[in-house]
Amino acid sequence: MRQAKKRSKPQLLQAVLDAFKQPDIRSKLLFTFFILVVFRVIAVIALPGVDQAALANIYSENEYLGLMDLISGGSLRKMSVVALGVYPYITSTIIIQVLTPVIPRLQQLSREGQAGRAKINQYTHWLTIPLAMLSGYGQLMLLQQGGAVSNIGLSGSALLPTVSMVLALTAGTMFLVWLGERISEKGIGNGISMIIFANIVASVYPNFQRFASTNNWGGFAWFIVFAAIIFGAVVIFTEAQRRIPVQYSKSVFRGGRMYKQGGSNFIPLRVNSAGMIPIIFSNAFLMLPSVLSGWFQGNRAFDWIGRWLGTGEPFYWIALFILVVAFSFFYTYTVFQQQNLAESLQKQGGFIPGIRPGKPTHKYLMGVIFRITWGGAIFLGIIAIMPYIARWISGDETMLVTVSATAMLILVGVTLDTMRQLESQLVMRRYDGFIK
């Protein structure tokens, strides 16, 4: 009876209550919360020499920057010392992953276990620093055009303030990476993902206030409808997977005799195995022409490209959809090649029924990945252009910034991943989990 009563409670609530009953899990949850509080306190420390009024006008007029500010949790709008977030680190991680199959040294390190992964992680940190410096300098140049900052350059009297601001932004990014790694080590969930998660959650209420200030209740109703549809679709596609059956055969030595044993399992191939990375990469790629057009004002070619790739133009969203689909296939194939599932199965004595081990297994898995990635790639493409679809259907300009399906994709993905980690901690202590 007591067990039945326990199961009648909401599973998520019951899991949280069970987690807080365990001292070690409770300490991990409190440590994670403490780190996120520290991060949000630092996020309100603005860079010196920034005109906040002019900065607010820039972000209200530039729809793309408004979208990025939503994901950054308002750090960009305040131009805080952590305005760049952890995105230079994410970009560095993607670059290293793409280069691993190409560069023999990285390929060798990827096969050396924990020591090799630690060395690759060190290279990722080193690459993050120049990427953060370039991103910070580009951001300052963009803000200087809008009048939010002044005296930015690499010569004369502008050199010292420019270098100090770029170094401050770079240090902020590296500090966030360090905080994220502390969460991964001593807390619950993936630390870098938790930092992004906290950014998005922190921006919900301010963005809702700006949306409600328009008194457009029809637009608000459209927002609720779109949010519900996006949330449901994100959950479905995030959890969708194709299970490939696998048989295992092995020999066990008992009592001086050799016995044959068999077993079955499956390989879960996710429909959206690329996650949010194609969207981040595509947005960064499309942002480059706009930044270059700002740097080279007066150049007809760059002005034309910047005008056609503005977030209010249909061509921008068409290009974004195509790039997201293309990057989804590229990233999925790159990661799948590095996993080398066919070789791992063969070494472990596993095989797919009806498929010969080795190259035939690899060819079969590649065909399955290709087919299911179409669904995940098109889904990510639609998610990326959902703000434009929402504005086109509702006719409300504020929907372009408020309806961020990308942010919702991140929220759902991080939440599910954290729930799984929390459940694994509970299962080890013989508690009922909440994910079946």
Q: Is 267 helix (H, G, I), strand (E, B) or coil?
A: strand
CA angle 241, 246, 250 (to 5 degrees): 150
Q: Is the domain of 64 the same as that of 128?
A: yes
Q: How far is CA 91 from CA 132, 152, 276, 333, 405, in A?
A: 10, 25, 12, 18, 20
Judged against a pLDDT cut of 90, whether residue 96 lies above it is answered with: no
Q: Is the domain of 204 the same as that of 226?
A: no
Q: What's the token pair of residue 139?
A: 């951001």
Choose from 305-309, 348-352, 376-380 the range with maximum mean pLDDT: 376-380
Q: Is the domain of 363 the same as that of 435?
A: no
Q: What percent of the chain has pLDDT over 70?
A: 72
Between the two ends of the chain, the Cα-to-Cα distance in Å is 22
Residue 126: what pLDDT? Answer: 94
Judged against a pLDDT cut of 50, whether residue 433 lies above it is answered with: no
Q: Is the domain of 263 the same as that of 364?
A: yes
Question: 137 — phi, psi (to 5°)?
Answer: -65, -45
Residue 423: what pLDDT? Answer: 76
Judged against a pLDDT cut of 60, whether residue 346 lies above it is answered with: yes
Q: What percent of the chain has pLDDT over 90?
A: 6
Q: Is the domain of 57 the same as that of 70?
A: yes
What range defines the domain where residue 186 resides? 10-213+416-436
Judged against a pLDDT cut of 80, whether residue 194 lies above it is answered with: yes
| In-domain check, residue 5 | no
Judged against a pLDDT cut of 80, whether residue 331 lies above it is answered with: yes
Judged against a pLDDT cut of 70, whether residue 114 lies above it is answered with: yes
Of the listed ranges 146-150, 202-206, 347-351, the least confidently predicted one is 202-206
The neighbour count for residue 52, using CB atoms within 10 Å, is 12
Q: Is the domain of 376 the same as that of 251?
A: yes
Question: 9 — phi, psi (to 5°)?
Answer: -75, 155
Residue 206: what pLDDT? Answer: 67
pLDDT digits (tens, 9 = 90+) for 27-75: 888 898 999 899 888 888 888 878 777 777 776 666 556 556 655 555 6
| In-domain check, residue 28 | yes
- Asked if 172 contacts 199 with a C-beta cutoff of 8 angstroms, the reply is no
| In-domain check, residue 376 | yes
Mean pLDDT of 383-402: 65
Q: What's the token pair of residue 80?
A: 């805080």
Q: Is the domain of 206 the same as that of 324?
A: no
Give the residue, 279 or 394, on which the prediction is more confident. 279
Give the residue, 165 or 416, on which the prediction is more confident. 165
Where residue 73 falls (left for φ over 0; alpha for ψ -120 to 50; beta otherwise) is: left
Question: 433 — phi, psi (to 5°)?
Answer: -85, -175
- Alpha-carbon span 352 to 364, nearest angstrom: 9
Q: Is the domain of 119 the same as that of 264?
A: no
- Alpha-carbon span 225 to 431, nearest angstrom: 37
Q: What is the CA radius of gyration of the chain?
A: 24
Judged against a pLDDT cut of 70, whether residue 207 lies above it is answered with: no
Which band of pLDDT confidence, cut at 50, 70 and 90, is reported for residue 315? confident
Largest CA distance in the chain: 84
pLDDT digits (tens, 9 = 90+) for 239-250: 888 888 887 765
| In-domain check, residue 1 | no
* Count of domains forming the chain: 2
Q: Is the domain of 197 the same as that of 224?
A: no
Mean pLDDT of 79-93: 84
| In-domain check, residue 321 | yes
Residue 65: which CATH number? 1.10.3370.10
Q: Is 38 helix (H, G, I), strand (E, B) or coil?
A: helix
Q: What's the token pair of residue 72?
A: 């950054």
Among 138, 18, 17, 1, CA closest to 427: 18
Judged against a pLDDT cut of 90, whether residue 11 lies above it is answered with: no
Residue 99: what pLDDT? Answer: 83
Mean pLDDT of 335-357: 77
Please, which residues bridge with residue 5 across strands? none
CA angle 335, 337, 338 (to 5 degrees): 65
pLDDT digits (tens, 9 = 90+) for 267-295: 888 888 887 778 777 776 776 666 565 55
| In-domain check, residue 161 | yes
Q: Is the domain of 271 the same as that of 326?
A: yes
Q: Is the domain of 380 the same as that of 293?
A: yes
Q: Is 159 helix (H, G, I), strand (E, B) or coil?
A: helix
| In-domain check, residue 298 | yes
Q: What's the token pair of residue 61?
A: 């007029």
Q: How far is CA 332 from CA 70, 94, 301, 339, in A?
A: 27, 12, 34, 11
**Secondary structure of 283-311 in the HEC alphabet?**
HHHHHHHHHHHHHCCCCHHHHHHHHHCCC
- Mean pLDDT score of the chain: 76
| In-domain check, residue 4 | no
Of the listed ranges 172-176, 292-296, 385-389, the least confidently predicted one is 292-296
- Alpha-carbon span 199 to 70, nearest angstrom: 8
Judged against a pLDDT cut of 90, whether residue 175 lies above it is answered with: yes
Q: Is the domain of 187 the same as that of 263?
A: no
